[in-house]
Every structure is written in structure tokens, then in C-alpha cells.
Amino acid sequence: MRNTVRILGIDIDNINIEDAGNITKKLIKNSNKSCKIVVAPNTEFIMMAQKDKEFFDILRKAELATPDSVGVMIGGKKQKTPFKQRIPGQAYFRKILEVGEKENWTFYLLGGKGEVPKLAVDNVKKNYPNINIVGYHEGYFDKESEEEVIAEINRLEPNVLFVAMGAPLQEKWIAKHQQELKVDIAAGQGGTFDYEAGKIQRAPKVFQKLGIEWLWRLALQPSRFFRMLVLPVYLIKITFTKDITKGKFD
């Protein structure tokens, strides 16, 4: 039984990082290459899903939704079901690498521009010397190379497919190909490969502790400003809405 908290229609698992590792282990054990979907909802996801039924439905049907962002934490507190822990995307990524290294899982990394996935793979291999990454591909492709990528993934049948193409593109891509992808789990990873590749610097610890990583990201990538305007709207919504579990498409 999942222990979830629903915020504006999106179910998010109330778990810590250890639980995330254990649940993923179970998903992989029982999947039999049925491509279980793992998502990492943050405030932007929840707000995007209020305008996008396709995205809303994908988040709702995910088998695991790890709690990302301070906004999600506030949503849990507001319902008197505080989340055990905030799990930033990269923390989940690294936990699964750590568990996967021991369990001998195979990994495929899809996403990022140009050399990003390769650099990410190189760095991951340095930090997890026994990791078994069977393939990677950048996240920009036309129809023809998309078919080749899917064929390659299906030939390799990895346990874990990490897809880092940003939300909601990565979740929609996974859901669109869920039936054909021969992987145990597919997890959306946003900008994680950029971090792992050393292309974007992670916020200093003090920013992470205070839950204001978004401010750091904004300073590094000012183009994110308009995306972030949804944050105050979200806070107003969950402060003044009577039933914050209800989503736009419920």
C-alpha cells in the first residue's frame, strides 16, 4: 500500500530517501520489463498539471512519485500530513545508482544536449566504479533516430531508464512509449544530467538546506523566471483553497 499525500490532484509518496530506494527495488523486482513510471513532482509540476490533462493523468498513474521542492513540503504540512523528507531529483538519481551498483542493475541514460549524457556517464562511473551503464543518448532527436534509440534500449533491456529531457516532455515521452519500452522502470530526471556532467553547478549547501535552490537556479538561468511565476500562485492556491487535495481535472 502506498502512503501518499494528494496535492491539487497529484499523489505524492510520503517517503524518505531510504524508502525511495526500497520501493524502487520492489518495482524492479516485480516489473518484468513493464516500464513502471517514476516521477518527481515539484511545485511547477503540480501547477503545470492543472492546465495539462495529459500530464495530470501521467502523474496520477505513476507507480512512484518522489516529493521534490519546498512547495510540496508546505502542501503536506497544510494537510497535517508532513512529508518525511524532501527528495531533490539528483538525490533520487544517486540513491538508485548506489542501490543499483549493489544489485547489479543495468542503466540507460537518455537526455541532455550533445556531450552532456556522456560526461554524466563518465562522472557517474568515477563515483560508482561498479555501476553497469549499458547505454546513453542525448535527448534531442528526430523521428528516425528516436526509433533507433528505442530499438537500442529494447535490445539492451536495462533495469533502469533515466530520462532527463525536462518536464513535462520527459514524462510524456515515457508514457507515450511505455507499452513498447522493455525496461523495468523509467524515471524522469529533469536537469540531473546537466548537474552530473558538471555543466550546471548545484546550489551551495546552505541554499539546499533553506530550500531555496530555486533561487540559485534562477540566478544561473534567468530564463527560468517566467516558469517560476507559478510558485506564488501555487502558495496562494493552497493557502486559500478549502480542499487542497482536489485538482483541476478531478
- For ligand UDP (CB under 6 A), the number of binding residues is 15
Please report how close the Cβ of residue 111 comes to ligand UDP at its closest, in angstroms: 4
Task: Pick out residues in 36-65 that bind ligand UDP (CB under 6 A).
Answer: none
Cα angle 14, 186, 61 (rounded to 5 degrees) comes to: 55
Contact between 113 and ligand UDP per CB under 6 A: yes
Task: Pick out residues in 178-217 that bind ligand UDP (CB under 6 A).
Answer: 190-191, 193-194
Gyration radius from the chain CA atoms: 17
Q: Among 139, 149, 174, 213, which residue interacts with ligand UDP (rule: CB under 6 A)?
A: 139
Nearest by Cα to 192 from 74, 42, 72: 42
| Closer by beta carbon to ligand UDP, 28 or else 117 | 117
β-pairing, 185-188 vs 160-164, is parallel
Q: Among 51, 140, 204, 233, which residue interacts with ligand UDP (rule: CB under 6 A)?
A: 140
Contact between 67 and ligand UDP per CB under 6 A: no
Instruction: Give the DSSP letter string of 138-185.
Output: -S---HHHHHHHHHHHHHH--SEEEEES-TTHHHHHHHHHTTT---SE
CA distance linking residue 180 with residue 160, whole number of Å: 15
Please report how close the Cβ of residue 104 comes to ligand UDP at its closest, in angstroms: 27
| Closer by beta carbon to ligand UDP, 142 or else 243 | 142
Secondary structure of residue 137 in the 3-state scheme: strand
Please report how close the Cβ of residue 156 comes to ligand UDP at its closest, in angstroms: 19
Stretch that binds ligand UDP, among 77-85, 92-100, 124-132, 160-168 (CB under 6 A): 160-168
| Closer by beta carbon to ligand UDP, 28 or else 177 | 177
Please report how close the Cβ of residue 168 comes to ligand UDP at its closest, in angstroms: 9
The count of other CB atoms within 10 Å of the CB of residue 236 is 10
Counting every residue written for the chain, the total comes to 250
Amino acid making up residue 20: A
Burial label for 222, CB within 10 Å (0-12, 13-18, 19+), is exposed
Nearest by Cα to 182 from 205, 207, 155: 155
Please report how close the Cβ of residue 174 comes to ligand UDP at its closest, in angstroms: 13
Instruction: State the DSSP code for 204.
Output: P
Please report how close the Cβ of residue 238 comes to ligand UDP at its closest, in angstroms: 21
| Closer by beta carbon to ligand UDP, 83 or else 195 | 195
- For residue 160, the number of C-alpha atoms closer than 13 Å in the C-beta half-sphere is 30
Stretch that binds ligand UDP, among 54-62, 78-86, 119-127, 161-169 (CB under 6 A): 161-169
Contact between 164 and ligand UDP per CB under 6 A: yes
The contact set with ligand UDP (CB under 6 A) reads 111-113, 116, 139-140, 164-167, 169, 190-191, 193-194
